[in-house]
Amino acid sequence: MTALDLDGAAAPDPLRRLRRGWWLVALGPLLGLALAALWLRLTPPLYVATMVVGPVPAPAPLDGLAGPGARLAAGRAGPLAGLIDEPDLAEYDRFLEMLAAPAAVARLEPELAAAAAGLRPGARDALAALLGRPGWQPPGPAEVSAGLGRSLEIAQIGHTPLRRIGFAHADRAVALALPARLHAAADAVLREQAERRGATRIAYLKQQIAQQPQQDHRGVLAALLAREEQAMMLAAAGGSFAAEAVQPPTAPLRPERPDPLFVLAVAAAAGLAAGLGAANLRGARR
């Protein structure tokens, strides 16, 4: 036997190693599929509900209603510049930040809030109750807000101001109810905040008009007052304030997460890779 033959016998090629460990190559995918099937069995399927929202159109200007003073307001307001209407998207941006905030979550029904955030009594709470220690308590707005912040998805649609709100839950009814309730709650919070700001501004403008001796300055203040009163009337008229529902919440009748075919395919591929590695390593040690 030559030296080359001795070297070839001492260092078997990878295919020979795999042939010797064929059972490991076959066992890897089977084990991966078994573990994936067990995980799918223990993991509750999730229904994904989506809702599309957009900003409420800004009201028409009041030039015709307030007269010439309205055309002077923007240029002559001076210290009162903060009283002029904010950009159209200002309240909408606040709405997106308010969706999962404690102030909005506090307006949800306690049962819906706890179910949506996944905060329910567990084995630890039952054991604490048996030992006479404080057991489970309904979560507060801060706890629910933290839970929703991890599961609520907000995505921009293209380059438009529209946003798609997504929420996944094991209960399809909860998945459908939460986006609409959060939309209504956040919109109501912003409406009340705007009404309080408007009432403060109106009172201040009326006071300044009564104390202002110059007619043209009173015209500027009157224009600002008319715009604030218009905003107050629109806020009190009902309907959406900061964001309106472009598409109501919808969810497929079948759960979307996890995808069984994708999970099984990934598990089989991972098991095959692990089996190939184990067979090669086993052959190298022999």
Residue of 234, 225, 237 lying closest to 200 (CA atoms): 225
Is residue 162 a part of any domain in this protein? yes
The 10s digit of each residue's pLDDT in 59-106 is: 655 554 444 444 334 443 444 444 444 435 788 999 999 988 999 988
Distances in whole angstroms, Cα of residue 49 to Cα of each of 39, 108, 153, 250, 255: 23, 18, 10, 5, 10
Which parts of the chain have pLDDT scores under 50? 1-11, 64-87, 123
Is residue 165 a part of any domain in this protein? yes
Tokens 């919109």 sit on residue? 187
Is residue 147 a part of any domain in this protein? no
Is residue 126 a part of any domain in this protein? no
One domain for residues 22 and 64: no
One domain for residues 64 and 38: no
One domain for residues 33 and 171: no
pTM of the model: 0.66
In CATH, what number is assigned to the domain containing residue 203?
3.30.1890
One domain for residues 273 and 196: no
The pair of three-digit structure tokens given for residue 145, joined into one six-digit string = 């807000």
Residues contacting residue 37 through CB under 8 Å, at least 6 positions apart: 264
One domain for residues 161 and 241: yes
Is residue 125 a part of any domain in this protein? no
One domain for residues 197 and 282: no
The residue segments making up the domain with residue 16 are 11-43+269-286
Residue of 147, 164, 138 lying closest to 52 (CA atoms): 164
Is residue 34 a part of any domain in this protein? yes
One domain for residues 179 and 55: yes
Is residue 285 a part of any domain in this protein? yes
One domain for residues 59 and 75: yes
One domain for residues 74 and 37: no
- SS3 labels along the chain: CCHHHHHHHHCCCHHHHHHHCHHHHHHHHHHHHHHHHHHHHHCCCEEEEEEEEEECCCCCCCHHHHCHHHHHHHHHCHHHHHHCCCCCCHHHHHHHHHCCCHHHHCCCCHHHHHHHHCCCCCHHHHHHHHCCCCCCCCCCHHHHHHHHHHHCEEEECCCCCCEEEEEEECCHHHHHHHHHHHHHHHHHHHHHHHHHHHHHHHHHHHHHHHHCCCHHHHHHHHHHHHHHHHHHHHHHCCCCCCEEEEEEEECCCCCCECCHHHHHHHHHHHHHHHHHHHHHHHHHHC
**Cis bond leading into 139, ω under 30°?**
no
Long-range contacts of 9-13 (CB under 8 A, 24+ apart): 12/283
One domain for residues 163 and 236: yes
- Say how many domains are in the chain: 2
One domain for residues 95 and 234: yes
One domain for residues 244 and 286: no
Is residue 123 a part of any domain in this protein? no
Beta bridge partners of 155: 164
